[in-house]
């Protein structure tokens, strides 16, 4: 199934710190003393069955190791290169802006470090800022066919846009600060807001003012929804009508009906749901029913480092588990173009690119 790798793909649900390479994480952990290192090593290597609760403990550990400007820059660069190397042509990368007064880090300087990482990628061409009205979309358009690719520049290209995440541990004020930062950073490719963090913590009402403000100001919004059994919150989230939701696991009939009628696209994170024991097996995953019902879906990795997966792997699992062929998987990937948060120019470029690849497949 090499085609799962070579097929152009869009990644719309990837957390920066969850996508860190294991090798980088281990390298960073060597700065710890021997006892702490072996603890970190144990957690890092035990990726196949972590409960959701353990995953959030792991994130706290990762953040201790990664929250400084240079490391944030480094992991951003590596994450973009990793996605591009498996033919992801559009990446929406999300991260929680962090403040750490002891090292002079503000939420803004954290995001500046991410932007520095985007600028420092050199193995691929990165388009990360929105284009002005009069400029052509991609500096170096995506190669339209294999032939083109060989004849012209064979460097890979990737569009990257950023979502700023609100952590469920945050207050309304902190969430609002993140939204204001996102507005200030729009010219650098920040296109939206995500609500994430431990789903067993916090109340929907805490984040609502910031999410409403984000929407009023024209930012796109996606929510982690239904990761734990919380019917009331799922109901409230669907009533808010976000432009996308992630996971959507513990949905009851009423939620499903609401979702279906509102046609909100769902970011499917299959391996993540299984590894966190939120779904017992691939066969039991809601993907297949919703796919058969023709609901808008996009396959995503969530945390490729933490769950030791890749987007190509997610495509392979779905193709193999549900008997979908190359053409169906290609359409699944192509449909995701319609759910991206970047502007219409980027959408149009991606549509053209997918059309040319489709022609070549005939």
Q: Which residues are catalytic?
A: 227
Contact residues for ligand 5GP, defined by CB under 6 A: 15-18, 59, 95-96, 165, 167, 196-197, 199, 224, 227, 272, 302-303
Instruction: State the minimum distance, in angstroms, from the CB of residue 167 to ligand 5GP.
Output: 5
Instruction: State the minimum distance, in angstroms, from the CB of residue 101 to ligand 5GP.
Output: 18
Q: Looking up tokens 């994480």, which residue turns up?
A: 25
Compare residues 126 and 357 and give the one whose CB is closer to ligand 5GP.
Answer: 126
Q: Is 248 within 8 Å of 266 (Cβ atoms)?
A: yes
Residue 294 backbone class (left: φ over 0; alpha: ψ -120 to 50; beta: rest): left
Identify the sign of the CA torsion 33, 36, 38, 42.
negative
Q: What is the DSSP string of 221-254?
A: EEEEE-SSS-HHHHHHHHHH--SEEEE--S--HH
At CA 159, angle to CA 79 and CA 326, rounded to 5?
85
Compare residues 234 and 329 and give the one whose CB is closer to ligand 5GP.
Answer: 234
CA torsion 49-52-55-56 (nearest 10°) is -170
- The CA–CA distances, whole Å, from 35 to 28, 65, 99 equal 15, 15, 27
In angstroms, the CA 348 to CA 268 distance is 24
Question: What are 221's two structure tokens?
Answer: 């919004």
Instruction: State the minimum distance, in angstroms, from the CB of residue 58 to ligand 5GP.
Output: 9
Between helix 204-216 and helix 172-184 the angle, nearest 10°, is 20
Compare residues 165 and 222 and give the one whose CB is closer to ligand 5GP.
Answer: 165
Q: Is 238 within 8 Å of 209 (Cβ atoms)?
A: no
In angstroms, the CA 43 to CA 135 distance is 47
Q: Looking up tokens 């009402």, which residue turns up?
A: 205
């Amino acid at each position: 199934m090499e085609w799962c790798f070579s097929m152009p793909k869009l990644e719309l649900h990837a957390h920066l710190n969850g996508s860190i390479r294991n090798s980088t994480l281990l390298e960073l952990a060597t700065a710890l003393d021997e006892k702490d290192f072996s603890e970190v090593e144990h957690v890092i290597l035990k990726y196949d069955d972590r409960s959701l609760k353990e995953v959030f403990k792991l994130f706290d550990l990762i953040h201790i190791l990664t929250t400084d400007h240079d490391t944030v820059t480094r992991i951003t660069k590596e994450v973009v290169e990793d996605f591009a190397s498996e033919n992801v042509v559009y990446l929406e990368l999300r991260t929680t802006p962090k403040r750490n007064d002891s090292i002079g880090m503000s939420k803004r300087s954290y995001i500046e470090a991410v932007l520095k990482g985007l600028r420092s990628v050199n193995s691929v061409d990165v388009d990360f800022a929105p284009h002005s009205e009069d400029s052509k979309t991609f500096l170096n358009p995506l190669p339209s066919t294999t032939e083109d690719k060989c004849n012209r520049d064979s460097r890979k290209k990737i569009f990257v846009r950023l979502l700023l995440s609100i952590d469920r541990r945050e207050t309304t004020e902190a969430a609002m600060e993140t939204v204001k930062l996102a507005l200030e950073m729009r010219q650098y490719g920040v296109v939206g807001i995500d609500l994430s963090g431990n789903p067993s913590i916090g109340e929907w009402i805490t984040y609502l003012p910031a999410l409403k403000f984000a929407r009023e100001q024209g930012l796109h919004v996606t929510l982690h929804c239904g990761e734990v059994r919380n019917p009331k919150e799922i109901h409230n989230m669907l009533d808010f009508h976000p432009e996308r939701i992630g996971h959507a696991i513990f949905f009851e009939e009423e939620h499903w009906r609401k979702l279906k009628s509102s046609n909100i696209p769902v970011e499917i994170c299959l391996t993540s749901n299984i590894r966190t024991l939120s779904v017992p097996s691939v066969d039991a995953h809601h993907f297949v029913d919703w796919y058969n019902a023709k609901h808008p879906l996009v396959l995503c990795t969530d945390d490729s480092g933490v769950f030791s997966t890749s987007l190509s792997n997610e495509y392979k699992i779905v193709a193999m588990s549900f008997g979908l062929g190359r053409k169906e998987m290609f359409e699944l990937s192509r449909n995701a173009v319609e759910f991206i948060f970047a502007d219409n120019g980027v959408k149009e470029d991606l549509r053209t690119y997918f059309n040319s690849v489709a022609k070549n497949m005939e």
